[in-house]
A and B are shown apart, each in its own frame.
Chain A
């Protein structure tokens, strides 16, 4: 179903659109970002610089962009999906050859006022193009092999480019995000079962082959996998960060050690305390209550997106909103699992809380798209 079948007369126009925005969602986003400012202020030792203040400015800029995006009708964005995706692939190629490498793997383009990471942009453009693809595709063809192969290729192109950087965290998010889009669009269960089954089978075979004559990987490769899966086996290297992170989190207790009283972050035992590991500072200083509150806020954001999407009769808008919610979920789920020692350390920031310009702007633009879908949703039949 597309907007073309609906009369657009009842869609709000002009400034009236502002009234139809999903204001609860906006308030939730501001609340989460507020927690982020507080934590950035704390990890800087009670100072707005160097992190809290730039973060606030970017959030303000992001909010403006979110409103701007939300004002533009959703069908415009749908038509732009292909172009946006192509552009993000182009940017990935540009940084591949001309980009600046910093902080290990992240590559960016310096825009002067901020550094743009094309890999962040891609997370959203991928959702957009997949939503547009399934909006266009006849639903009876959804599960046919050829029409399943096309989105797989669409997902694998940016994934391959990001893996080359190498940025494993983003690659995982792209594959998972894309996969979830296909799942939402209604691709048959069997495909997912097949892929998951094949993956499990492959991993089992490789692990089983260890120590036998037909060993599939070299010994050192196995050891690297060991360290990746169980950082505690390398307590001074990769394990150090995750150990310190768990100590910080656990030592928070019920109510935490108090604002700016977290010894683990204040004394620099935490790695990357303003970016990937900022959740541990929150958990250390505000305890289980603080950490759980943030989780509840995140859950509410997801909930409002799902509700908005399910109420939306427009297929593109609905898929897009669900896809954005899923991507958002993947961000914090991977990040929290990582700092709690449930998942290996891959560089994924905590959405809207971690310090970082690209990720925040891209997320807010994505929520702008969701808002646009919400505002311009079809209302009743002609």
Chain B
């Protein structure tokens, strides 16, 4: 087709025009692109740089090592042991089943465990390590490590987990740690991010729980670079945390061990205090349990065995168990009366075996009565009628006030779980809590430590230590935190006339050291060591008139849980008081027969810092004592680890 030059010219002009327009538009759009680029890369650069950093940098927490717990001599009671475990990384393993098969020749794996491992490897990203076995023995661990070439993707790892080398001895005091539960998290206002770490363990009960903040330490952080699917590429930097503070307790682990062993499988508890400082030297509760089982995850069978045991092994009876103090309360009534001036020490009261108030008869434990009784004899022979009479005269308010001054009815600031404040009732309390008026019978019952009065073994020990020292000592459990000595509060005097205290102490001395004393059988005959104390037998039931008439209220004839509690409080040496001790045997029967011998053994053990010589005991008892000493299996001191040499 021929074209005219005119057409050709026209066409060329048109293309040039349109070409220039289009070229211009293109250039314009490129300008827009350049501006956008500049805006994003220059103006907004910092913002995007931050987002890029957030993308790639992850913060991982490094769990701190938990603080160790020592006894007063530096013996380790709670520490962290190396926990050997093996983990499997799916992408390195290739054929997971084949690797697990080979691994089973070294480590036994339950079918359920294998099922769990398969599930986790399927669910998680292939580079996430899955724990195959935990708490391996060193031998198995080493064997896995040696066979590593045949086990692709399997790697041995070492972590830390809590262990209590003295197991049962400190179960109630130290408690145990366990994994963080949803409940724990819910309890906290602002939970430490550490608690979110899988398998992180926190104190659940006892010192472990109450001193959690001190023991836990502060988490370190590790900055790591991750890629889009979360695989760790490299570590960018780390900031070390602070390990938890080490804790030194006032408890003497050897004495604690003796207390636990001596209490044995009875449902009982005992507290030993240093009278000078208030240090808790031993605080035992029986029966006990192995806290290590809780750390590892206790089996259902083991747990229900503990909860179904009627001796309640999980309860810490030394602070959680409260009992009517019974006759161990009589020193308080006596002091209240002496201070109030309602009796004179040499004044005597006639005990016919009962006291009638209105239409009610209040009985003395000795049916025949004690005859004429003065203050010393009232304690020595534990005459109830004397105290009915004195209590009636002095009144409940003054008795309650004296009880409080001596440490009853109050809670001590100690890092232990479920501390019960006990109960020292007065008129106002009864009105408020029972909506009933106080009657004279209440005063009489309170006067001999029965009725509504409740005290824990710890409170009874504090009471005894205060009687012995004349000062308001407070029990102290934590000796030092990370080496820094924890000074207790000052020890103010009780403000009770020393003469009255001395009279009561004399009575307590004679309880043990005179033939007529209720605890004469539990005297100490060592040179220069005399013990002073008071027995107590507290009723957990009312003796009916019919029973009394029939004369059938021998303890042994009753079912265990209706028998009397056996109590004993004491201190020694009489002339220079060092230790105070309280023993309560639940439903044990009489204080003099059951609790006093235990208390004597514990006190001697504390004073001699080990097994006392037989010469400390009355000659007639040495045979039985020796047999008993031989039967008790104590912890070998050589097996204890001295934490100070290691830490």
Q: Which residues of A contact B (CB under 8 A)?
A: 1-2, 5, 136, 138-140, 180, 183-186, 244, 246-254, 263-264, 266-269, 283, 287-288, 291-292, 295, 298-299, 302-303, 306, 309-310, 313, 315, 318-319, 322, 325-326, 329, 333, 336-337, 340, 342
CA distance A377 to B154 in the complex (A): 71
A283-B41, A340-B40 given; A267·B233 CB < 8 A: yes
A250-B45, A268-B227, A283-B37 given; A184·B3 CB < 8 A: no
The interface residues of chain A lying within 8 Å CB-to-CB of B40 are: 246, 249-250, 340
The interface residues of chain B lying within 8 Å CB-to-CB of A254 are: 41-42, 45
Mark contacts of B209-237 with chain A using CB atoms, 8 A cut-off: 1 yes-contact digit, 0 otherwise. Answer: 00000000000000001111100010000
Most chain A beta-carbon neighbours within 10 Å: one of B30, B45, B52, B225: B52
Q: Are B41 and A287 in contact (CB under 8 A)?
A: yes
CA distance A266 to B225 in the complex (A): 11
A180-B22, A288-B41, A340-B37 given; A253·B49 CB < 8 A: yes
Q: Which of A136, A267, A291, A326 contacts B225 (CB 8 A)?
A: A267
CA distance A268 to B228 in the complex (A): 5
Interface pick from B12-20, B114-122, B296-304: B12-20
Mark contacts of B23-41 with chain A using CB atoms, 8 A cut-off: 1 yes-contact digit, 0 otherwise. Answer: 1001101100110111011
Q: Are A313 and B37 in contact (CB under 8 A)?
A: no
CA distance A298 to B29 in the complex (A): 12
Does B11 make an interface contact (CB < 8 A)?
A: yes
CA distance A244 to B54 in the complex (A): 12
- Distance between B28 CB and nearest chain A CB, rounded to angstroms: 11
- Distance between B575 CB and nearest chain A CB, rounded to angstroms: 79
- Distance between A140 CB and nearest chain B CB, rounded to angstroms: 8
Q: Which of B1, B30, B44, B56 contacts A250 (CB 8 A)?
A: B44
Q: Are A251 and B49 in contact (CB under 8 A)?
A: yes
Q: Are A306 and B19 in contact (CB under 8 A)?
A: yes
Q: Which of B10, B51, B228 contacts A251 (CB 8 A)?
A: B51
Q: Are A310 and B16 in contact (CB under 8 A)?
A: yes
| CB-based nearest B residue for A279 | B37
Q: Which of B2, B41, B47, B55 contacts A291 (CB 8 A)?
A: B41
Q: Are B48 and A250 in contact (CB under 8 A)?
A: yes
Does B557 make an interface contact (CB < 8 A)?
A: no
The interface residues of chain A lying within 8 Å CB-to-CB of B309 are: none
Q: Are A183 and B22 in contact (CB under 8 A)?
A: yes
Q: Are A299 and B27 in contact (CB under 8 A)?
A: yes
Q: Are A1 and B45 in contact (CB under 8 A)?
A: no
The interface residues of chain A lying within 8 Å CB-to-CB of B226 are: 267
CA distance A79 to B492 in the complex (A): 118
Jot down 20 A-B pairs with beta carbons below 8 A, ordered by A: A139-B14, A183-B22, A185-B18, A186-B11, A186-B14, A249-B40, A250-B44, A251-B51, A254-B41, A267-B55, A283-B41, A292-B38, A299-B30, A306-B23, A309-B15, A310-B20, A333-B29, A340-B36, A340-B40, A342-B36
Does B359 make an interface contact (CB < 8 A)?
A: no
| CB-based nearest B residue for A329 | B26
- Distance between B69 CB and nearest chain A CB, rounded to angstroms: 44
Does B435 make an interface contact (CB < 8 A)?
A: no
The interface residues of chain A lying within 8 Å CB-to-CB of B233 are: 267
Q: Are A139 and B10 in contact (CB under 8 A)?
A: yes
The interface residues of chain B lying within 8 Å CB-to-CB of A267 are: 55-56, 225-228, 233
A268-B227, A292-B34, A302-B23 given; A319·B15 CB < 8 A: yes
CA distance A268 to B229 in the complex (A): 8
Q: Which of A139, A263, A292, A322 contacts B19 (CB 8 A)?
A: A322
- Distance between A316 CB and nearest chain B CB, rounded to angstroms: 11
Q: Identify the 9 closest CB pairs spanning chains A and B, nearest first.
A: A250-B48, A1-B8, A267-B227, A251-B52, A268-B228, A253-B45, A288-B41, A186-B14, A251-B48
The interface residues of chain B lying within 8 Å CB-to-CB of A319 are: 15
Q: Which of B3, B20, B45, B51 contacts A252 (CB 8 A)?
A: B45
Residues of B in contact (CB 8 Å), total 44
CA distance A319 to B2 in the complex (A): 19
Q: Which of A253, A288, A295, A326 contacts B30 (CB 8 A)?
A: A295
Q: Are A264 and B52 in contact (CB under 8 A)?
A: yes
Q: Which of B1, B7, B42, B229 contacts A253 (CB 8 A)?
A: B42
Known: A288-B41, A288-B42. 9 other contacts (CB 8 A): A138-B1, A139-B11, A180-B22, A252-B45, A253-B42, A269-B228, A310-B15, A313-B12, A329-B26
Q: Which of B22, B52, B227 contacts A248 (CB 8 A)?
A: B52
- Distance between B558 CB and nearest chain A CB, rounded to angstroms: 71
CA distance A325 to B1 in the complex (A): 28
Q: Which of B10, B14, B52, B229 contacts A263 (CB 8 A)?
A: B52
Residues facing A in B39-68 (CB within 8 A) are 40-42, 44-45, 47-49, 51-53, 55-56
Q: Are B45 and A315 in contact (CB under 8 A)?
A: no
The interface residues of chain B lying within 8 Å CB-to-CB of A268 are: 227-229
The interface residues of chain B lying within 8 Å CB-to-CB of A269 are: 52, 55-56, 227-228
Q: Are A184 and B23 in contact (CB under 8 A)?
A: no
| CB-based nearest A residue for B48 | A250
| CB-based nearest B residue for A321 | B19
CA distance A1 to B6 in the complex (A): 10
Most chain B beta-carbon neighbours within 10 Å: one of A283, A306, A337: A306
Q: Are A136 and B1 in contact (CB under 8 A)?
A: yes
- Distance between A335 CB and nearest chain B CB, rounded to angstroms: 10
- Distance between A245 CB and nearest chain B CB, rounded to angstroms: 11
Q: Are B15 and A318 in contact (CB under 8 A)?
A: yes
CA distance A298 to B30 in the complex (A): 9
CA distance A140 to B8 in the complex (A): 11
The interface residues of chain A lying within 8 Å CB-to-CB of B23 are: 302-303, 306
CA distance A267 to B45 in the complex (A): 19
The interface residues of chain B lying within 8 Å CB-to-CB of A333 are: 26, 29-30, 33
The interface residues of chain A lying within 8 Å CB-to-CB of B225 are: 263, 267
CA distance A186 to B19 in the complex (A): 10
The interface residues of chain B lying within 8 Å CB-to-CB of A318 are: 12, 15, 19
Most chain A beta-carbon neighbours within 10 Å: one of B18, B26, B42, B56: B26
Q: Are A253 and B19 in contact (CB under 8 A)?
A: no
Q: Are B3 and A336 in contact (CB under 8 A)?
A: no
| CB-based nearest A residue for B229 | A268
The interface residues of chain B lying within 8 Å CB-to-CB of A180 are: 22
Q: Are A295 and B22 in contact (CB under 8 A)?
A: no
Q: Which of B16, B20, B26, B42 contacts A302 (CB 8 A)?
A: B26
- Distance between A129 CB and nearest chain B CB, rounded to angstroms: 17
The interface residues of chain A lying within 8 Å CB-to-CB of B48 are: 246-251
The interface residues of chain B lying within 8 Å CB-to-CB of A253 are: 41-42, 45, 49
- Distance between A192 CB and nearest chain B CB, rounded to angstroms: 11
Q: Which of A138, A186, A283 contacts B18 (CB 8 A)?
A: A186
Mark contacts of B291-313 with chain A using CB atoms, 8 A cut-off: 1 yes-contact digit, 0 otherwise. Answer: 00000000000000000000000
A251-B48, A319-B15, A340-B36 given; A263·B55 CB < 8 A: yes
Most chain A beta-carbon neighbours within 10 Å: one of B18, B42, B229: B18
CA distance A140 to B300 in the complex (A): 97
| CB-based nearest B residue for A283 | B41
- Distance between A46 CB and nearest chain B CB, rounded to angstroms: 15
The interface residues of chain A lying within 8 Å CB-to-CB of B3 are: 1-2, 5
The interface residues of chain B lying within 8 Å CB-to-CB of A315 are: 8, 11-12, 15
CA distance A333 to B31 in the complex (A): 11
- Distance between B29 CB and nearest chain A CB, rounded to angstroms: 6
CA distance A319 to B3 in the complex (A): 17
| CB-based nearest B residue for A243 | B51
The interface residues of chain A lying within 8 Å CB-to-CB of B227 are: 266-269
CA distance A340 to B41 in the complex (A): 10
- Distance between A300 CB and nearest chain B CB, rounded to angstroms: 11
The interface residues of chain B lying within 8 Å CB-to-CB of A288 are: 37-38, 41-42
Q: Which of B19, B37, B47, B51 contacts A295 (CB 8 A)?
A: B37
Most chain B beta-carbon neighbours within 10 Å: one of A2, A251, A283, A329: A251
CA distance A342 to B26 in the complex (A): 16
CA distance A138 to B7 in the complex (A): 8
CA distance A321 to B24 in the complex (A): 16
Q: Which of B16, B18, B36, B51 contacts A183 (CB 8 A)?
A: B18
